[in-house]
Amino acid sequence: MKKKILFILLSVLSFMFSKAQDSTQKQIQSLQDEISMLKKPLKTHFMIRGFAQFGFDASDDNVNFNMTSFNPVLLWRQGDRFLFETELEMEYMTNQLSVNLGYANASYMITKGLIVKFGKILIPFGSFGEKLHPSWVNKCATMPLGIGHDGLVPMNDIGIEIKGGLQLGSSKLSYALYAVNGPTIKDGTVEPTEAGMLAFDNAIDNNKNKAIGGRIAFLPFQNSSLEIGLSGYYGKPGSSVSPFATDSMSVIRDLNYKTVTALLTAVDISYVKMISEIGGVIDIKGQYTMSEVSKASYINPTDTTRMPYSFNNSSVAYYAQLAYRPAMLENEILKNVELVGRYSVYNTPQSSLWYSNKSQITIGLNYWLTWRTVIKADYQMTTVDNGMSGMTSSSSMTGMSSMGATTSNMILLHLGIGF
């Protein structure tokens, strides 16, 4: 009897054991399947990245905590050649969140040296807007003068672009050519003090023609340390309909901007190299931008005679930046420290209502917590000379303008995060 019970017990146990082994085998198999699934190259891949910057600014008469930017970036890759990229620019100002579309475009690599992009693109004009604007890439807490809001550099627009990088012997050449909606010209009907200013980033074009432009960059050294870029951008910013078509005065009715042209040119330079003799990375960046809008007449609403005035509509903006990071030092703290100095200038047309002569010196000390998280401590001196504007005689301006110069100082302590 005992033997029988033992036999039954043993067979039940062995049955259970074989079942358990079976299920372990199955589990191992399904884990292996899952791993091989994960290892298999995906056809599509989605990523959320982006950047943010916030901090604290202290000027001569104000101390402020601020949230400068929060820009989520979404990337979606299909296969090896197709990429969709989009960036939302979120800004929290005057207790309101404003959301702007930085870029949203699809790009496809047609051949090895040719990528086509379509949608809202970052305009490859100069190097700052397209390549250096994120808060963790820009080494200073602020953008150089003339770039960004109310600047003279087109940052983004809707259109089509072709671009690529090619090797030329031991040098490299890159190109980008594009056609976009283009700028509009402020005719002064909405913001009278900005008459003659160009506005970029137009979801709906005000005319039939498109702005065209391009950037060619040359990297003469085989180690790619030096890059010199030349950019051009040409467009007709005026609407074909006169904004003053119904005015009672014939001299004003005749004002028209449809023949106005805008030509922007820029030279940019970048030199970045790890130099063992100085124990770190030296980073030089610069951009010189000129804007030339053909002459037109505008009305000054504060002028009771309502006589149109005009001015030479040319502006210039430039910056030069030098940074050094002793990245080769053994010391864990010092090797993450970076010194940066930037000088930038933005001059708008004399005799326009928006005339100003601005220059700025920024001196910064950065501490890199990770490769894309940085604490930026900047001291910034800005000199603004608004002169006396709105007059047509430029000779009477010259004397006045130097009287209006004011200098303001600012301390900025910001955290820049790339995530």
Residues near ligand HEC (CB under 6 A) are 49, 51, 73, 75, 87, 131, 134, 137
Pairing mode, if any, of strands 171-180 and 262-275? unpaired
Amino acid at 112: K
- Contacts with 383 (C-beta within 8 Å, 6 or more apart), sequence order: 358, 359, 360, 405, 406, 407
208 binds other proteins (CB under 8 A): no
From the list 255, 52, 44, the residue with the least C-alpha distance to 135 is 52
CB of 123 within 8 A of CB of 129?
yes
Closest distance to ligand HEC from the beta carbon of 49 (Å): 4
By beta-carbon proximity to ligand HEC, the closer residue of 71 and 348 is: 71
235 burial class (0-12, 13-18, 19+ CB within 10 angstroms)?
A: buried
88 binds other proteins (CB under 8 A): no
Torsion angle, alpha carbons of 151, 155, 159, 165, to 10: 140
287 binds other proteins (CB under 8 A): no
Give the total of residues touching other proteins (CB under 8 A). Answer: 57
By beta-carbon proximity to other proteins, the closer residue of 80 and 277 is: 80
Residue 384 CA to residue 258 CA, distance in Å, equals 33
113 binds other proteins (CB under 8 A): yes
By beta-carbon proximity to other proteins, the closer residue of 264 and 299 is: 264
By beta-carbon proximity to ligand HEC, the closer residue of 52 and 152 is: 52
* Residue with the shortest CB distance to ligand HEC: 131
Residue 172 CA to residue 177 CA, distance in Å, equals 17
Residue 176 CA to residue 126 CA, distance in Å, equals 11
172 binds other proteins (CB under 8 A): yes
Residues 23-62 interacting with other proteins (rule: CB under 8 A): 41-42, 45, 47
Of 125, 136, 346, 355, the residue at the interface with other proteins (CB under 8 A) is 136
Binding site for other proteins (CB under 8 A): 41-42, 45, 47, 75, 77, 80-81, 83, 85, 107, 109, 111-115, 117, 130-132, 136-137, 163-167, 169-170, 172-177, 212, 214, 216-217, 222-225, 227, 232, 234, 261, 263, 270, 272, 274, 281, 368, 371-372, 418
